[in-house]
Every structure is written in C-alpha cells, then in structure tokens.
Amino acid sequence: MDNKILSATASQQDSERALLADYKADTADSAPFGHSELPPATTQFEARFSKRAIAGVVSAAVLLFIVAASFWMPTPECMHGMGGFQQPGKVDIPGDGRIDPTRVFLNIPSTDQLRENLLYYSSGAHVAGINSTQAAYTRDYFEQQGIESKIVEYFPWLNYPVDQRVTLFNETTQGIVFEAGLKEDVVPGDPLSEDPNNLPAFHGYSTDGNVTGQLVYANYGRLEDFKALKDAGISVVDKIVLVRYGYIFRGVKVQIAELNGAKGVLIYSDPADDGYSKGKVYPTGPWRPESSIQRGSVMRLQVYPGDPLTPGYAATKDAPRIDPKDAKNLNHIPSLPLSYRDAEPLLCALQGHGRNASEVGSAWIGGLTSKGVEYWTGPSKLRVNLLNKVGYKTRAIQNVIGRIKGSEDSEHTVIVGNHRDAWCAGASDPSSGSAALLELARALGELMKLGWRPRRTIILASWDAEEYGLVGSTEWVEDNIDWVRTNAVAYINVDSAVGGGDFKTEASPAFEQLLYDVTKQVPYPHSNGSVYDAWLQQSLASAELANQAADDYTDMADVADALKSPTPLIRPLGSGSDYTAFMAHAGVSSLSMGFSGRSGAYHSNYDSPKRLTTFIDPDMQLHQAMVRVWGLVAIKLADDPVIRLSPVNYAKTLRRYIRQLEAHVAAQLNNTSSGKQAQNGAVAAASKVHHLRAAQRQLLSSARAIEREKAHLRAVYGEDCQMGSRRRHTSCIKLRSSINDRAFGLERHFTEPEGIPSREWFKHVLVAPGRWEGYGAQVFPALAEAAEDGDWKRFQLYSKRTVETLYEAAWFLREV
C-alpha cells in the first residue's frame, strides 16, 4: 500500500475521537463524480498494512505469470476446497487483443486480502458522521488500484445518544422495581465487545422524550397485532408499548404505535427469533446472547429515505432545510431497543394482567417461556419510565466515488455500491461488504494492468449513513438525478456480503437470467456445486418450510412458484438498503445480494470479526464467492456488447405480480363482505386486474420482438460489430445501441413523476416498500393501498394510469 494511504495524521485521528465523544453533548448548532475531498487517511493498522505496496507488486507479477502461463500450462483438475470445479485457467485473447475479463477475474480474489480488509473496516465503531478516516482510506485504496476516486460530502441532520433509561416502578410508593441495564456484556477474547466507543442502546432518528405509562405487550407491533389488541379490549392509548423485533421494519412499529395513541415504544430481540431458541449463543455459537441489543433507525423509511430535512433534493451544505416538525419520515414518540434480558422483567410485570397472549393470537408467544415467562398483554399495574435524550446535529458524511472510464460507451455507467458506516464494529453488516468492495476494486485494477478496459464506465461507491436511513446513497442520487436517469445502466448492491451460508437476492426481474448464469460459474465453498446449486436448494427448502407453516403472513403464491419452479425465486425489491433511491426513485434496474442466514449479532456489539470468522466464514471463502459473483455481474453488464438485462424476464415476472395483486384485492374484498359476496371476491378481483393482464401480454410481445432483434444482430453482424464495411459497421452499431438503450431504459418507463399517493418520493409503479412493512416489497403499491383503504374509485384511477404505463413501456420496446 502507498505511503500516502498509511501516513498517520494524529490531528485528524484526535479530531475523530473528539467527535465520537461529542455525540453525548447537547445539540449545537454536484456532479456525480464528486465535489469535495478529505485529507489522506489515518489508520490504527499501520503495521498490518505497511506491506501492501510490496504485496501489490507481487500480486501483479503473479497475475501476469498466470496469464502468460495459461497458454502452455495444463488447467488444474479442480480448485482446492471447491469440489470438482475447474480453476479458470486459459485466458482467451480474441483477434482484437481484448482479454476475456471474466476468466481472468475469477482467479484474482484473495481470501487473505479479504481478511485484511475485514479487519480494517471492523476495527471499531464507525458511525455515520464520525468515520471520515475510513472514507479517506477507501478513496486512497481505490486510487492505488488505478481507479480515479473522490469523496463527495453531504450534510444531513443526524442524532446521537446522550442519555437513555428504562425503569419499572410502583407509582404509589415511587419505588423502582427494575432498571434496564441497556448495556451489552463484555465477551472475553473479543476486544470489540468492550470497545469504549461502542454506542449505548439507541435508535437512529428517534425522538427526544421522557414519558411514563403502563406497559402493554403488542407482539411484533404490526397493524394486525394492534387490531388484535383492540378486538381483545386492550387499549394502548397513553401506554408504553413493548414489541419484539421481526416481520416489519422497526420504524413502522413505532409509527403504528404512535397512530394508536401510545406514548413510547420499547423493541426487544426475542430468543425465539434469533436467540437461544435457534442454537448456541455467542460466544459458544453464532446466535444472539441475552444482553445483546439491536440498534437501528426508526425513520419512516417507506415515506421517503435520506435526510429528513431535504426531502427530494440533496443535503448540500447550503441547501434549504424544512422544519423538523414538517419532516413526514420522522416519528414523534420516543423509542429504545432492549435485550431479552432487559425485556424479561417487563414481561413478568404483565403476568396476570389483561389477556393471556395465546388468547389474542397463535403467534404471540416468544421464547422466554423456557425461563418461566408467561406472555400477557397487560396493561401492567406497575409503570414504566422511558427516557430517551438525543442530540441532533447537521453533520458531514462522506461518500467515496471511484470511476473506471469506459473505452467505447463511456457515458453509460454500471454502478456497484456498499455502505461503510455501522452502528458498532459491523463485521457482517456492512464490513463484509466493504471488504468485498475493496477486493473487487483490486481485481478490476489487476485487469486494467493487463490492458483491459470495460466498454461502459464502472462506478464503485462506498456510501455513508446508510444505517440512519439510506442517507448517503439517497442524497447522491437526488444530487445527480438527471445524470442517473440518463446514464445509469444498472445498480448492483451488496450490503452485508456474508452473514451466513444462504445466498439471497432481491432484484429487478431484468436481472434474472444474468444472475442464474453468473452463479452457475462461481463455486460454492466446500461443495461440488456452484452458488446457483446451493441457492436453488436453499430456496426450495425455505419454500417447503413456508408451505408447512402456511400462516397468515406467508405469501403462498410465491411459495407455490418456488416449489414448482426449477430455478430459484428472486424476490422483488422493497427497501432497506442503498438500491432504494436507484430503483424506486430514479427507475434504474437494481440488484441486491449477499450470503445470509445467521442474524444473531445484527446491529449489536457482537457483530465482530471474531464471531464472523469463528462461526460464519472461517476461511473467507464465502467472501471470496461474493466478490466473484459481484464482479462477474458488473463486468458482464459493463463489458458485454449487448447489455445483459432481459425485458422478456421482466414481462414474464409481471404475470406473477398481477396474480399477487389479484389475491390481495380478493382478500380486501372478502374482508369487507360476507356470505355470497365473499365467495364472489375472487371473481370481482379478477375483473379489476383484467386490463393489467392485457397490458402485460402486450409488454411480453414487445419484449420478444427485442429478442428477435438480438438474434438478427448475432446472425447478420455479430455482437462485436467487427466488420470491414463501414456501412455494415454503422448499421450494426446503430442496431446494437438501440437494443441496449431499450434494455436498460425499460425500468425508467415504470416510474411516474407523481409517485405513489401520500409518499410521492417513490416513483416506481410496479414495486415499492409496503407502507406498513418498511422493508418488504409491495407489488403495484398504489393499487394495493387503494384496495386496503377500500377506495375503489382511486383504485380505478391508478389502474388506468398503470395500464397506460405498461402500454407505453411496450411501445418503447418497439422503437428502433
């Protein structure tokens, strides 16, 4: 590594330590490639990374040897630890001198390098607004790989914890019965569990407040949970509500509680969901121990993400700000997270009061029954005091933007991104992804040393302040919205690269075939199969479990598809990571992926490299597989002559989306009908989506016409358009450009300027986060919400608009 990267600047490091301490004080008062830079990085890992310069030279020499030797050395039978997969060996160099980048790329990602990257990023707490050292380090690392890079700053409104307290007391005697520890235990042998800079129990964008009231338990805090309480005669008005994490985004839990009249919310992690009910807890296993606290944002993410005070435009230094009281994506009652150790006495205080939770709902009982806890609704006789003192400040955040300029079609750009900030050390979320991003940058740099350049530009983005509410990526997209809509081919997101062994992905349907093809090329660690093979088996197993559960919260249409389909089911994109602004606001086809499965340390002090490398990925081969998948998708999108986005896959997937909408409409009709009317709900629902089905068929017909054009291009010209005749070359380029423009431009045609009613920031008419879910996707959101509200006049209006949008998209695909 260059000395520039490793030079220690004591003043900057001292400044950041001061900022970290300052979060407990009271509140005081562009072009896509960047408009500001920070000083060179500082790091506490000088000794570890001082050898990077030598290592970089050696790795380049080794890579050149591999490329040269591949012409005369035999290809090895298999890759060590990868079963029967052949090592990508021979490098194909066509007549134009271009290497085959995908073949070379697969050999580059290094598990040792990934481990070093992970240890750097997860060396301690790096909260948004207090991690500029890592931003500068990331920029300089990109530049060391030959990638032009800059830091782009924004200035959002962020909060930091000052004082938190939860007490259970007797109102008559004022005697304190219990006071929550609000602190995680130190784990011997894991120094990051005792980092003095770790945040206390805290919610990003939580409201400052000191409230007191009786306690009521509301299960997962969903709409149906509060309705069940109401039906059971239990009121939450002026109460402190205790809910458990799961099913919906924490910010929506607080919002629903507020709408039902609650004074405050406590959200705890129940052992049934990710604690000892799942297996051994940390440090003897990967699951959540009793003192573990899940931090996180409670922004109303489904209203709009990003800086609350600059809705729809970038939070630049001099941007106008709205009054916080007018920010529609903020809640207005205080909230705090709890461990299940701190939640246990609160649940015990409810015992015998109100209704037994099993009488309210079959899924209301958690895992603390093994400790003798009975789950009751309350309200309690004892009172709870919730103190949440926070300091709000306008604080600079840093996005790192690296660019590899395309060789032929440089204005069109493939963007890959990961967020860098974390509530604690964040080894899995997001540092596993940050480690992968650096290794992806190094691998692309090695390809460039061999003379390779992508046809289209590639941007590598390291986002800041994602944890608060996708702030860094949202502000960047809003700042560059016209450029993004014009030039962005696709956005490829990796948040937590490795949290388990299950490959999971949500994506625009346009990515489907590309994802299948790429994952078939990448070996799955410690198996004889590919990532695709493991993904398929994991998908089928999950679908079978869901089919057996068949509860009220299972999407049985998706389950049926997964069980009968020979391919893994790709979920639609809702929200919860940095793809949101690209897909939902700008209409850029987006993909988010990673290995998951063991969430027992999520947003806690125990999401450390020690836990990750002990229980999840000891040899870093899952990290390596993630880099390979991520890189191949990016390279193919940026370098293949014909862009690998499929309008046909999109049109076919819309049939499933329409079927899901039809089932949703039928359910709403049945909820408001009885007897014979209820039996006719399905018939009525089918009639309401009839025109959508006709538009989908037209879209599929137009998409298939593009496939015929692709076949014509290959047969008559060849995708590379390499021919002697200038006239034929010009005709080929024109046809190929037209096909590509329509392939990546299709997603734009599914957005409308007016957006979704009451949350207009979301422009995509086909998918958006559910308004009462926050993360999970809702297909045809405007129509689904009109049906939920029983507003069939609005449903008809937006049905007409959506049908027109689909026909316009179909006509766009026919333009040549």
Interhelix angle 621-639/512-521, rounded to 10 degrees, is 130
Cβ neighbors of 4 (< 8 A, separation 6 or more) are 40, 140
Q: Does residue 776 surpass a pLDDT of 50?
A: yes
Residue where a domain terminates, one of 639, 656, 681: 639
Out of 12-26, 344-358, 463-477, pick the least confident: 12-26
Q: CA torsion, points 560, 564, 566, 570, in degrees to nearest 10?
A: -10
Q: What is the CA radius of gyration of the chain?
A: 27
CATH code, 259: 3.50.30.30
Q: What is the mean pLDDT of the chain?
A: 88
Q: Does residue 534 surpass a pLDDT of 50?
A: yes
Q: What does the pLDDT read at residue 673?
A: 56
Q: What does the pLDDT read at residue 545?
A: 65
The tens digit of pLDDT for each residue in 146-180 reads 999 999 999 999 999 999 999 999 999 999 999 99
Residue where a domain terminates, one of 364, 394, 424: 394
Tell me: do 807 and 704 sit in the same domain: yes
Longest dimension (CA), the chain: 95
The strand pairing partners of 159, in sequence order, are 392
What is the pLDDT confidence band of residue 798, given thresholds at 50, 70 and 90? very high
Distance CA 405, CA 453 (A): 8
Q: Which two tokens stand for residue 6?
A: 């490793």
Q: What does the pLDDT read at residue 77?
A: 29
What is the pLDDT confidence band of residue 815, given thresholds at 50, 70 and 90? confident
Task: Compute CA 84 distance to the chain's CA centroid, rounded to the nearest angstrom.
Answer: 33
Q: Is the peptide bond before 324 cis (omega within 30 degrees of 0)?
A: no
Tell me: do 684 and 714 sit in the same domain: yes
Residue where a domain terminates, one of 639, 669, 684: 639
Tell me: do 266 and 296 sit in the same domain: yes
More confident residue, 700 or 31: 700
Q: What does the pLDDT read at residue 282?
A: 97
Distance CA 137, CA 48 (A): 14
Distance CA 202, CA 603 (A): 11
What is the pLDDT confidence band of residue 557, given thresholds at 50, 70 and 90? low
CATH code, 754: 1.20.930.40
Q: By the 8 A CB rule, do 496 and 418 touch?
A: no
Out of 126-130, 183-187, 562-566, pick the least confident: 562-566
Secondary structure E strands in 395-510: 397-404, 409-419, 456-463, 488-498, 502-507
Q: Which two tokens stand for residue 498?
A: 């490795």
Q: Does residue 504 surpass a pLDDT of 80?
A: yes
Distance CA 450, CA 578 (A): 32
Tell me: do 139 and 66 sit in the same domain: yes
CB atoms < 10 A from the CB of 412, how many? 22
**Cα-Cα-Cα-Cα dihedral sign, residues 446, 447, 452, 453:** negative
Tell me: do 782 and 657 sit in the same domain: yes
For residue 310, the enclosing domain spans: 158-394
Out of 29-33, 116-120, 245-249, 761-765, pick the least confident: 29-33
Cβ neighbors of 731 (< 8 A, separation 6 or more) are 717
Could you say which DSSP state residue 768 is in? E
CB atoms < 10 A from the CB of 381, how many? 14
Instruction: Give every strand in the sheet of 409-419, ordered side by side.
Output: 148-154, 397-404, 456-463, 409-419, 488-498, 590-596, 502-507
Q: Which two tokens stand for residue 335?
A: 């909230």
Q: What does the pLDDT read at residue 681?
A: 62
Q: Is the peptide bond before 200 cis (omega within 30 degrees of 0)?
A: no
The total of structural domains in the chain comes to 3
The tens digit of pLDDT for each residue in 64-86 reads 444 443 333 333 223 333 333 33
Residues of the chain above pLDDT 70, percent: 84
What is the pLDDT confidence band of residue 541, given thresholds at 50, 70 and 90? confident
Distance CA 125, CA 44 (A): 13
Tell me: do 680 and 622 sit in the same domain: no
Q: What does the pLDDT read at residue 549?
A: 56
Query: Up-side HSE of residue 501: CA atoms within 13 Å toward CB?
Result: 17
Distance CA 202, CA 180 (A): 13
The tens digit of pLDDT for each residue in 189-228 reads 999 998 888 999 999 999 999 999 999 999 999 999 999 9
Q: What is the DSSP string of 595-663?
A: EE---TTTTSTT-SHHHIIIII-TTSHHHHHHHHHHHHHHHHHHHSSS----HHHHHHHHHHHHHHHHH
Q: What does the pLDDT read at residue 33?
A: 62
Q: Which two tokens stand for residue 389?
A: 């003192």
Q: Does residue 546 surpass a pLDDT of 70?
A: no
Q: What would the mean pLDDT of 518-538 be, rounded to a whole number?
A: 96
Q: Does residue 543 surpass a pLDDT of 60?
A: yes
Tell me: do 390 and 427 sit in the same domain: no
Q: Does residue 281 surpass a pLDDT of 80?
A: yes
Q: By the 8 A CB rule, do 39 and 136 touch?
A: yes
Tell me: do 769 and 790 sit in the same domain: yes
CATH code, 427: 3.40.630.10
CB atoms < 10 A from the CB of 45, how many? 13
Q: What is the DSSP string of 489-558?
A: EEEEEEEEEESSSEEEEEE-GGGHHHHHHHHHHSBPTTSSSBHHHHHHHHHHHHHHHHHHH--TT--HHH
What is the pLDDT confidence band of residue 31, given thresholds at 50, 70 and 90? very low
Tell me: do 555 and 652 sit in the same domain: no
The tens digit of pLDDT for each residue in 585-610 reads 999 999 999 999 888 999 999 999 99
The tens digit of pLDDT for each residue in 645-685 reads 999 999 999 999 999 999 999 999 887 654 444 445 667 78
**Cα-Cα-Cα-Cα dihedral sign, residues 143, 148, 153, 158:** negative
Tell me: do 588 and 708 sit in the same domain: no
Q: Does residue 562 surpass a pLDDT of 90?
A: no
Tell me: do 656 and 624 sit in the same domain: no
Q: What does the pLDDT read at residue 212?
A: 98
Q: What would the mean pLDDT of 749-757 be, rounded to a whole number?
A: 96
Tell me: do 622 and 695 sit in the same domain: no
